[in-house]
Amino acid sequence: MLTIISGENAHLHWDELASMHQLRRTVFRERLGWSVNVVNGLELDQFDLPDAHYLVHTGPNGRINACTRLLPTTGPYLLADVFPELVHGALPREQEIWESTRFCADQATAPTNIAAILMAGMLEFGLYAGLRAYVSVSDIRMEPIMRRAGWNPVRLGGTLETGTDTAAAEWLDVSPEYLARVRKRAGATGAIICNLGELRYERVAA
C-alpha cells in the first residue's frame, strides 16, 4: 500500500518524509550521479513546496523504498521552470494538470512491480482530486516501463541530453480506464493508497 503525504498531514509523517528524502539522495546523487542538492543527508530541491504531495511506499523495515512527488502546474514546477524547451507549444498551467517528479525506488527492497504500484497511486489520487492529466520530465527509458504498467505516455516535444540521460516531457492522461489497467498490472484489486480519504481539501473538479 501507498501513503500520500501533503502539507495537511505532514505533521503525522515526519519520519516517512525524512526517509523519503534519504532515498532520493541514494537514488539521484549516489546511484544516478545527478548534481542534486543534499542537506544533512537529505535530497531537497526548490520544488519541495507546501503544495507538494508525496506518494510513498514503506518497506518491511519501516523505511520508504519508493516515492514520487506530485505538484500542481499552477505554481512553480520542474518542467516549466527548468526544462521548458522540452514542450512544443504552451506550457501546462492548469488546476487539472499536475506534475510528477522524483519518481524512484530502492532496487534492493522495493517490490518488482513498484513502478506499476506508484502509477496506480498517481491515477487513484488524480481521479480523487479531479485531475485531467499529469506531465513529467522523464528519462525516455521510462516510456516502455509506463507502457508495460498499462499507461500511455505522449511526448510533448523533443528530447534533451542532460549528461546522465535523455530527457523528454511526457503527458499522461488520468481516467478510470487507465486506473483499472494499471491496478491490474500492479496486482491490486482495490484502493492502493491507504489514507486517501483522510485528505480534506476541495477537489479540482466534481
Q: What is the pLDDT of residues 121-132, one digit of tens each?
A: 999 999 999 999
Q: How far apart are CA 66 and CA 107, in angstroms?
A: 9
> Which candidate, 102, 10, 18, places its Cα nearest to that of 63?
18
Q: Is 135 exposed, middle or buried (0-12, 13-18, 19+ CB in 10 A)?
A: buried
Instruction: Record the pTM.
Output: 0.94
Helix (H) or strand (E) holding 186: helix 176-186
Which of the 8 DSSP states describes residue 193?
B
Asked if 152 and 176 touch (Cβ cutoff 8 Å), the reply is: no
Q: What pairing do the DSSP bridges indicate for beta strands 166-173 and 133-139?
A: antiparallel
Q: Is 177 helix (H, G, I), strand (E, B) or coil?
A: helix
At 152, list the grid cell.
500511455
Helix (H) or strand (E) holding 70: strand 64-72
At 21, list the grid cell.
528524502
Report the pLDDT value the prediction gives residue 49, as an integer from 0 to 100: 96
Report the pLDDT value the prediction gives residue 177, as an integer from 0 to 100: 98
Torsion sign over Cα 173, 177, 179, 181:
negative
Report the pLDDT value the prediction gives residue 202, as an integer from 0 to 100: 53
**What CATH number has the domain spanning 2-198?**
3.40.630.30
Report the pLDDT value the prediction gives residue 33, as an integer from 0 to 100: 86
| Long-range contacts of 82-87, Cβ-Cβ distance < 8 Å, separation of 24 or more | 82/137, 83/137, 83/160, 83/167, 83/169, 85/157, 85/158, 85/160, 86/137, 86/156, 86/157, 86/158, 86/159, 86/160, 86/167, 86/168, 86/169, 87/156, 87/157, 87/169
Positions in the chain short of pLDDT 50: 204-206
